Amino acid sequence: MESDLWLVYAVVTTLFWGIWGALIEVPEKRGFPATLGYAVWAFTMVPCAAVALAVIGWVPEHDLRSVLLGSTAGLLGAAGQLVLFDALRRGPAYLVFPVISLSPVVSVFLSVILLGETASAKAWTGIVLALVAIPLLSYQPPDHSSRVKGRLWFVLALLVFLAWGIQAYVLRFANATMRSESIFLYMTLTGLLLVPFAVWMTDFGKPINWGWSGPWLAAPIQVLNSIGALCMVYAFRYGKVIIVSPMINALAPVITIILSLLIYRVVPNRVVGVGMALAAVSFYLLA
């Protein structure tokens, strides 16, 4: 680790994404589609990018290598989110989410093989526990009323799994040669670039809530996602992928579940409960 700052940024990302996960469905349940929620998220990235640019004097790296690395990280994250929407339309969430939740496996593999990252025995125990906890935390009881439409859902889920797993590696690789603020700028630009696709995926044949409980409620919720994304870039700047990726992906769902319990008063099933316990032990070992 280059600095203990990795833990600060990782915790902020985990906290903000955990809160975001508990609130993200509120606008959708009130008639504002998730695809348009993506568009709102992309625009909330702009003020965060402005703050990041101000830190470096509004002069980001603009050589071809930096543009390609930053844009690749952004496209992997944003495109993965759009593909996820289509996967959920073709397959039930209880099958899709366990697949994509294992994306840190890809990150850990690439970081060890290509970046040569290592960890202590205690840290590796935490990593393994986190990788086991993540799919357990994403578990949802089968909904027999939802029908699986072919096998394309699995291909799409696998693409998201690979995209988000590779993104973490690219972020660490990019941080070695360019500033985190520049990376986030290109992530913002690529996120905005895909907004037309999100609009195209929206079913405008259904009523859409354009009021205060629609896009105006989605905006502050998506700001949590954007700030978390900025802190994630910094976390990969100062920390190892094999530590940061499993830690964030295991702990954010725990916060989401706890807040969801308070908001919706739903008791988690035993599988999720085991995942929460493993995630807690993992955090102790990693941090």
Work out the pLDDT band at 272, boundaries 50, 70, 90.
Answer: confident
pLDDT for 150 equals 67
pLDDT for 144 equals 59
pLDDT reading at 46 higher than 90: yes
Angle among Cα 44, 46, 50 to the nearest 5 degrees reads: 135
Q: Is 54 exposed, middle or buried (0-12, 13-18, 19+ CB in 10 A)?
A: exposed
Tokens of 268: 């988690």
Q: What is the mean pLDDT of residues 272-284?
A: 90
Please state the domain extents for the chain. Answer: 5-120+152-243
Give 191-205 pLDDT, tens digit per residue.
999 999 999 999 999
pLDDT for 88 equals 83
DSSP character at residue 60: -
The answer to whether residues 183 and 73 touch, using CB atoms and an 8 Å cutoff, is: yes
Give 92-113 pLDDT, tens digit per residue.
777 888 888 889 999 999 999 9
Angle among Cα 199, 23, 246 to the nearest 5 degrees reads: 95
Provide the CB-side half-sphere exposure for 88 (13 A, CA).
15
pLDDT for 102 equals 87
Nearest to 285 by CA among 112, 121, 101: 121
Q: What is the mean pLDDT of residues 72-79?
A: 96
Work out the pLDDT band at 73, boundaries 50, 70, 90.
Answer: very high
Q: What is the mean pLDDT of residues 171-186?
A: 95
Chain position carrying tokens 């690789």: 173
Q: Determine phi and psi for 151, rounding to 5 degrees.
A: -115, 5
Q: At what angle do helices 103-113 and 152-175 cross, to 10 degrees?
A: 40
pLDDT reading at 223 higher than 90: yes
The answer to whether residues 86 and 152 touch, using CB atoms and an 8 Å cutoff, is: no
For the chain, the average pLDDT equals: 90
Compute the 3-state secondary structure of the chain and give helix, strand, coil in percent, each to the nearest 5.
Answer: 75, 0, 25
In whole angstroms, what is the distance from residue 55 CA to residue 142 CA?
47
Q: What is the mean pLDDT of residues 60-75?
A: 96
DSSP states of 126-184 as a string?
Answer: HHHHHHHHHHHHT-----TTSPP-SSHHHHHHHHHHHHHHHHHHHHHHHHTTS-HHHHH
DSSP character at residue 58: T
pLDDT reading at 87 higher than 70: yes
pLDDT reading at 146 higher than 70: no
Measured in whole angstroms, the distance separating CA 136 from the mean position of its chain's CA atoms is 17
Provide the CB-side half-sphere exposure for 267 (13 A, CA).
2
